[in-house]
Structure 1
Amino acid sequence: MGLFSYGVAPVITIEDRLLKHLQAVIVAKLRRRENFAFNWDQEPGVGTDVTHENGSHGSVWISESSSLYFQYDGSPSMALNRAWLEDLMQAANTSTGLRAVPEPAARGV
């Protein structure tokens, strides 16, 4: 289980595979100087050290001035699923922002 830390927000625990894909999308958007919201609300594989009555949920605004830290428990090398990256990027480009979406099967080339 990996960790995602953002300023004063609580540490968000995220499964390593999902975190690796989120990191790729976050870095790509920041390289293009695109600000966006990152939201979580009881998605599978995502949680925080802060638990609310109805579960874990929250939102942070990510911009080029953000200080982000990604930490992994597992192997640093893993293949990325291009279809999942596309789905996550599509979510990040909406008005509701980036959030974990289920990993799809790899699409044909």
Structure 2
Amino acid sequence: MGLLIYDSKLEVVIDDRTLMHLQIVIIDKLRRAEKFAISLYHQGHVITLWMTPQSRVQWVYAGNRRPSLNRDWLEALADLAAMSGVLRIIPEPVEHEHVPAEVERGREPVMS
């Protein structure tokens, strides 16, 4: 389980695979100078955070390997945020093939 750290004060526990997908969507939106909300479960409650390009956000992963990316899930998360203005975690859609994160970024995967 990884952490999404917001403003150095709030640490939200999220599994690494979900965290990776959220990170990509969030960075993509912030790179375009978009402002949006993100709603997450934290300690039994739903919290909503306001994200702007000035927001201080960190992602800390528990595992050593980057999860593979599901393009359908990335698109669904981004579409939901664009339509509603709020990014939320939704169930991962079934994808025929997962793409390793290194390949998604144009690099060769590291074999161990």
Equivalent residue of 1:93, what SS?
helix
- Decide which structure has greater helix share: 2
Q: Which has the higher contact order (CA 8 A, sep 6+)?
A: 1
Q: Unpaired runs of 5+ in structure 1?
A: 41-46
Moved over 3 A (4+): none
Q: Which piece of structure 1 moves more, 61-70 or 4-13? A: 4-13
Larger of the two Rg values belongs to structure: 2
Two-structure CA RMSD over aligned residues (Å): 1.8
Q: Which runs of 5+ in 2 are unaligned?
A: 98-112
Count of residue pairs the alignment pairs up: 97
TM-score calculated relative to the size of structure 1: 0.80
Write the distance in 2 (CA, Å) between the matches of 1:67 and 1:8.
Answer: 7
TM-score, with structure 2 as normaliser: 0.78
Query: What is the aligned partner in structure 1 of residue 25 from structure 2?
Result: 25
Secondary structure, in 3 states, of the residue corresponding to 2:4?
A: strand
CA drift at 1:9: 5.3
Go from structure 1 to structure 2 and tell me whether the alpha carbon gap of 1:97 and 1:9 turns closer, same or farther (over 3 Å shift): farther
* Alignment deviations for residues 33-70 of structure 1 (CA, whole Å, 9 cap, x no partner): 11100002xxxxxx43xx3xxx2210000000011100
